[in-house]
Amino acid sequence: MKKKIDVKILRKFNQKELLIPKYATSGSAGLDVRVLLEEPVNLHPKQSELLPTGIAIHINDKETAAIILPRSGLSHKFGITLNNSIGLIDSDYQGEIMISVLNNGKKDFLIRSGYRIAQIVFFPIVKVDFRLVSSFSEVSGRNEGGFGHSGI
């Protein structure tokens, strides 16, 4: 059963249904997110821009959040990724979804209104309380090893 998420269209667009994020296939984990631009944006190499989507969502469930991720095809083919690698949308955020896009490629990339520029994935949240300890009751085989400790 699919969870219902409220979505609001914030500005006029001739094809409103395009602005609502959609799954590209039945097996897609992420919904494609489009940008809504007044005019095309020519993104130069190493340039970043904050792009509006024309929509706001309200998750309204403290046990759910969403992340904005780059689209792998855009990233691989053109170097178009997210400036902050990932964006987090909390359950109580109701503002416009903005996408911070970065051109990591070697050529200019022209972004037009309606382009699928990112994807949004919803996931459950586990809230924690920290318990202060002087040592851990169980010692793992990894201990403090990190950042490549297990080799290539």
Please name the amino acid found at residue 65: A
Mean pLDDT of the chain: 91
Measured CA distances, 74 to 5, 46, 116, 117, 128 (Å) = 26, 15, 9, 8, 36
From 27-31, 97-101, 146-150, the region with the lowest mean pLDDT: 146-150
Query: Is 148 among the domain residues?
Result: no
E strands, 2-89, are 6-9, 22-23, 31-34, 41-43, 48-58, 64-70, 80-82, 87-89
- pLDDT value of position 141: 66
Rounded distance between C-alpha atoms, residue 117 and residue 82, angstroms = 9
**Residue 139 confidence (pLDDT) above 90:** no
pLDDT digits (tens, 9 = 90+) for 77-99: 999 999 988 999 999 999 999 99
Quote the radius of gyration of the chain (alpha carbons, Å).
Answer: 19
Q: 150 or 80: which carries more pLDDT confidence?
A: 80
Q: How many domains does the chain have?
A: 1
Query: Is 51 among the domain residues?
Result: yes
C-alpha atoms less than 13 angstroms from C-alpha of 56 in its C-beta half-sphere: 10
The torsion of the CA quartet 5, 6, 12, 18, rounded to 10 degrees, works out to 20
Element (H, E) at 17: helix 16-19
Domain extent, residue 93, equals: 6-124
Domain with residue 24: its CATH number is 2.70.40.10
**Residue 25 confidence (pLDDT) above 90:** yes
Which pair of structure tokens corresponds to residue 99? Answer: 């996408």
Residue ranges at the known binding site: 71-73, 84, 88-90
pLDDT digits (tens, 9 = 90+) for 102-116: 999 999 999 999 999
Query: Is 24 among the domain residues?
Result: yes
Query: Is 150 among the domain residues?
Result: no
Residue ranges at the known binding site for substrate: 71-73, 84, 88-90
Query: Is 145 among the domain residues?
Result: no
Query: Is 14 among the domain residues?
Result: yes
- pLDDT value of position 148: 67
Query: Is 137 among the domain residues?
Result: no
Structure confidence at residue 56 as a pLDDT band (50, 70, 90) = very high
Using a cut of 0.95, tell me whether the model's pTM lies above it. no
Rounded distance between C-alpha atoms, residue 37 and residue 13, angstroms = 10
